[in-house]
Structure 1
Amino acid sequence: MLDNYKIVLFDGVCNLCNGAINYIIKRDKNNVFKFAALQSEIGKELITKFNIDTSKIDSIILIDGEKHYIKSSAALHISKALSGAYPLLFGLMIVPKFIRNAVYDYIARNRYKWFGKKESCMIPTAELKSKFL
């Protein structure tokens, strides 16, 4: 069942991450993505399955079949599946990963300070519940 979807794991208490998830949902015209908080049971299971060190990666992770992408690579792979001109952003993959991830890490390190933090994970509305694991 989940093999038909790309799974986006996100920091459920991060306002920036929650905003990004809502942004993706609005542009996911082909219903490609399912979502789960890193803090959820399924999030923890996938983190364990893919042996992801959440002390180094704690924002957005993309699970695509048996592959996973982290940091800027996750964001760019997500953009490739969105509607509109967003797939063009995938061209930024030509930028060396250490440069892309330096920018990503800077934003990730400051996301709580800049965008705030929730006390608990986002609760999807009834209409969006099917998009979450």
Structure 2
Amino acid sequence: MNAQPETPVIPDAPIIVFDAMCVLCSSNAQFILKYDRKQYFFLASMQEAVGEALYRRNGIDPNNPETLIVVDGDKVLRNSDAVLEIYTRIGWPWKIMGLFRLVPRALRDPVYRLIARNRYRLFGQRDSCWLPTPEQKARVL
């Protein structure tokens, strides 16, 4: 009997999908877990089943992504929109970052994509995926 791969359980809450091998991305994930006091977001690394499934569902190759995404039901945010949504939602004083939405996406996204494409070279790559602490584990899928 062939075992079917288990379909990942995806909660009905906003999920940030990020690269857990990237030093910048995993540091950002830790920052979110620390300062998202209302526990608005769940996090999923692209290297795990839930993150991989969400990337694939949204047409992103999890082996070569150039964006993190925020998935909230049918709504998916990418690039600078995703980052601004995160910082707006985690509260003060980071909420002030929402003012960058006044900058046209046509200017914000190329800067975001330049950093994303060069994230390993600029910030480094981990030898293994970042793992949450036991206290953080409930919010990381």
Match of 1:69, as an amino acid?
L
Label 1:59 to 1:15 Cα distance change in 2 as closer, same or farther (>3 A).
farther
Aligned partner of 2:11 in structure 1 is 2
What is aligned with 2:5? none
Runs of at least 5 residues in structure 1 that lack an aligned partner in the other structure: none
| Residues paired across the two proteins, number | 132
* Greater mean alpha carbon deviation, residues 28-37 or residues 111-120: 111-120
- 1:20 counterpart residue number: 28
Higher fraction of helix? 1
Match of 1:105 in 2: 113
Structure of greater Rg? 2
Amino acid at match of 1:17: C
Matched letter for residue 122 of structure 2: W
Contact map agreement 1:8 1:35 (CA 8 A) in 2: yes
Alignment TM-score, normalising by the size of structure 2: 0.85
Report if the CA contact (8 A) 2:66-2:117 is conserved.
Answer: no
Structure 1 residue 85 displacement after superposition: 2.0
Task: Quote the residue 2:140 is aligned against.
Answer: 132
Q: Does 1:46 align with 2:54?
A: yes
The answer to whether 1:70 aligns with 2:100 is no
- Contact 1:57/1:70 (<8 A) preserved: no
Root mean square deviation of aligned Cα: 1.8
> What corresponds to 1:83 in structure 2?
91
SS of 1:12's equivalent in the other structure is coil
Distance 1:56 1:125 in 2: 27
Q: Identity, % of aligned pairs?
A: 34
CA contact (8 A) 1:11 1:58 kept: no
Offset of residue 56 of structure 1 = 7.2
Is the CA contact 1:9–1:43 (under 8 Å) kept in the aligned structure 2? yes
Segments of 5+ residues of structure 2 without an aligned counterpart are 1-9
Aligned mates of 2:120, 2:135 — CA distance in 1: 28
Q: Normalized against structure 1, the TM-score is what?
A: 0.89
Give distance in 2, aligned partners of 1:13 and 1:76. Answer: 22
